[in-house]
Structure 1
């Protein structure tokens, strides 16, 4: 029997499904503040848990009467402000693997609805599907918007999300976000347009920054990723794994180019493991960034990965790893390495 391929899947997702799907991914269904184990050698981690707890309590305490007053101010033409005059955003900054997404999802779980959770890509795609005004209308009814992977790659997206956050916070919505870069440094090394930088600084003023330091927990004391398998061994392993897929790496890269990144999660939905044949370094930044998005969705869903050809650590060239998207690529390698160990243990 032929092993199924991801390239045979043509996922689609409607506007209503996009809104309903704005919840933490399956990997983070059960995380809570109490399940985050701070590294005792990194005091910023315990401090971050406390800061996120306090933020969640503040969001929860925002009562219905207060929100209705804020919304009346917004749609009545006056700029709304919190009664305490405080900032309505918390921004978790730190390297990959320090538990930022764990704390973001824990914050989301601790706050009563209505609320939304999505990656930066998912939020921008929601605006693309619904339109800006309708997105503001829907999300303005929520207490909290949580945005993971706040990494701005395009000046247009920066302007869009900055404007969206301005409208939502004026409407009384609280915002929690994660990234590997401080808000005022977003876009650094990529764009230097005056308008772009002005928008970045305006956005950063809406957040309290919580720094989280420490090594990547996914690799503390653990071995490196398994060596690539040979093609025959890979095919046999894929055929023996129920629910697995087997794809040629180049074919999959081409398939990803024809899908919006918001569909990558649906692409791997229900897949038990992903086997990739003939892995090599991404030929350009476009392919590399699509692989980052796929790696994130695989990690969210705890879908293990094994490969033949090159090692997962060689997906991105030295030039890529020294450029403006360096942190994205390192995060992807970190996550894929962890996923490859998961399959090697099974």
Structure 2
């Protein structure tokens, strides 16, 4: 957090803009000097060459002057194009830049005005990505805290109340006459189903098994819940030598797996899902593939962009796209920190 704070300008100071007067004056000087060079070269050619203009002018002289003018225009265009070519790349980057896909920068070699402009823009992207990451981390931490609070209240308060109701109904059913006992039995089953739903909601909000038994057990439980709720079988394959990632990274992996499976159940129309956790190239790789209708070329929704924000928190790489065999593939690559370590 302190690194982000240190990069911010002092209160009341104006951050350097892409169109500051100094930058624009420098660019103007560069263009002006290019034109001066072309005009001086043209003038020197006219002064020191044997070319003259008669009165009235003859056709050969018109051809020579036209050739000289064309040469000056071509040289001017080439020099200006070479000077301003980096601005095309800057425009293209400004149109496609996405803070959820960080790291894309423009090369800014040299000491000219355009190079200074590119370095200023790259620095602005650095600050924006750092501040976006910090704000996303705060927002997601608050979200997880709220989820944990709601899950605890569902389990401790509503869950206990429904359990007390179940016990009371059982006692009433034991002493009730036969016709009423049947009705009480139906009510008991309804309350029991409601209690199960409350527990499932609490488990989705804050997976206690992740804290108690670890990532692999939490993924297995998540897959079983999704299969039971949606009817779509989820096959889980886990590397037996999976290294520890730490509590924050494991929560990111779990949430992205949860969002991926939820998207499959709601939107994909899939018949089967494969989920794998593997250790490869100093990273843990989560892959979720389905055989559904595919993701298409539309704009990414809030769910996928939320997954990208979570991935940025732990320096992970997230790719979401069509699978070669049809359907959709979600691939998350989480680098393993040196020493592995568990920060629970």
- With the shorter chain as reference, the TM-score category is under 0.3
Superposition TM-score, scaled by structure 2 size: 0.27
Larger Rg: 2
TM-score normalised by length of structure 1: 0.26
Greater helix proportion: 2
